[in-house]
C-alpha cells in the first residue's frame, strides 16, 4: 500500500541560537496530527546574498539546491519566523529569493502554512502579510486560517525549557496543523 504520510518541512526565519521561533518549530512534530511528519528543512544560513551575476557565473550554490530539493519533495512547508522591522527577516527573504530562481520554481503549487512569534503584541502579523505576498507571486498555496501569531513571545514561551506556557496557543497550533493536513490533501497532496 502507498505511504500516505504527509511529509512536511519547517523553515525557521531566525538564525539566533536562543530563538523563540526555533523553540516553537522544534515543538511542531509533537503537535502534528496523526499521519503528518514534520522535519526541519536544510539550513539557509550559508546562502550568499542573492546576486544574479553570481548565479550566472557560478550557478546555484549547493545549499540553495539542497533546500530547493527539500521544498520540491515536501508535501507542505511551514514557515516559523519572527518579524524584523515590520517585515520578513533579511536572511529568510534572501533564501526565498535564491530558491525562487531555480527552474521549475519549487514553491509553485506548494501548500504553505505560516506561524510567527515576536516581541510585539501583533506577534509578527506584518511579516506574515509580506510572506503571504511573496508566496502569491510564487504561485504557492498558502493556508488562510487558523492563523498563528505568538505575540509578547517571551511571556508565552519558557526560554529555559523551550515549551509553550500558554495552553490556548498550543491549541491554536494543533488546530492549524490539523487544518493544514486537510488543506494539503484537499489540494491534491497524499490522501
Ligand X SMILES: Cc1cc2nc3c(=O)[nH]c(=O)nc-3n(C[C@H](O)[C@H](O)[C@H](O)COP(=O)(O)O)c2cc1C
Site string for ligand X, 152-171 (x = CB under 6 A): -x------------------
**Torsional sign, CA 120, 123, 127, 133:** negative
Indicate which single residue of 35, 37, 59, 86 sits in contact with ligand X (rule: CB under 6 A).
Answer: 86
45 binds ligand X (CB under 6 A): no
Asked whether the beta carbons of 91 and 13 are under 8 A apart, the reply is yes
Binders of ligand X among 110-129, rule CB under 6 A? 117-120
Asked whether the beta carbons of 33 and 48 are under 8 A apart, the reply is no
**Stretch of 35-43, 82-90, 91-99, 181-189 lying at the interface with ligand X (CB under 6 A):** 82-90
Q: How far is the CB of 76 from ligand X (least distance, A)?
A: 21
Residue 107, C-beta contacts closer than 8 angstroms, at least 6 positions apart: 71, 77, 96, 99, 100, 135, 138, 139, 140
83 binds ligand X (CB under 6 A): yes
**Stretch of 16-24, 41-49, 132-140, 164-172 lying at the interface with ligand X (CB under 6 A):** 16-24
At 142, list the grid cell: 498558502
Indicate which single residue of 6, 9, 21, 140 sits in contact with ligand X (rule: CB under 6 A).
Answer: 21
Asked whether the beta carbons of 169 and 156 are under 8 A apart, the reply is yes
Backbone angles phi, psi at 147, to 5 degrees: -95, 145
Indicate which single residue of 4, 16, 37, 182 sits in contact with ligand X (rule: CB under 6 A).
Answer: 16
Q: How far is the CB of 49 from ligand X (least distance, A)?
A: 17
Indicate which single residue of 45, 56, 57, 85 sits in contact with ligand X (rule: CB under 6 A).
Answer: 85
- In terms of Cα–Cα distance, which of 191, 160, 180, 164 is closest to 10? 180
Residues found near ligand X in the complex (CB under 6 A): 14, 16, 19-21, 82-86, 117-120, 153
Amino acid at each position: 500500500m502507498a505511504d500516505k504520510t504527509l511529509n512536511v518541512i519547517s523553515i525557521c526565519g531566525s538564525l539566533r541560537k536562543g530563538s523563540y521561533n526555533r523553540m516553537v518549530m522544534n515543538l511542531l512534530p509533537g503537535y502534528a496530527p496523526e499521519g503528518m511528519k514534520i522535519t526541519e528543512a536544510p539550513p539557509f544560513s550559508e546562502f550568499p546574498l542573492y546576486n544574479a551575476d553570481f548565479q550566472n557565473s557560478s550557478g546555484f550554490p549547493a545549499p540553495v539546491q539542497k533546500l530547493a530539493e527539500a521544498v520540491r519533495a515536501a508535501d507542505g512547508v511551514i514557515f516559523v519566523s519572527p518579524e524584523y522591522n515590520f517585515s520578513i527577516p533579511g536572511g529568510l527573504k534572501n533564501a526565498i529569493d535564491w530558491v525562487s530562481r531555480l527552474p521549475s520554481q519549487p514553491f509553485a503549487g506548494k501548500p504553505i502554512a505560516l506561524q510567527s512569534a515576536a516581541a510585539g503584541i501583533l506577534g509578527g502579523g506584518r511579516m506574515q502579510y509580506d510572506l503571504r505576498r511573496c508566496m502569491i507571486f510564487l504561485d504557492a498555496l498558502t493556508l488562510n486560517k487558523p492563523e498563528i501569531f505568538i505575540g509578547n513571545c517571551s511571556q508565552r514561551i519558557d526560554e529555559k525549557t523551550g515549551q509553550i506556557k500558554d495552553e490556548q496557543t498550543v491549541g491554536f497550533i494543533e488546530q492549524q496543523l490539523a487544518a493544514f493536513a486537510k488543506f494539503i490533501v484537499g489540494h491534491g497532496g497524499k490522501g
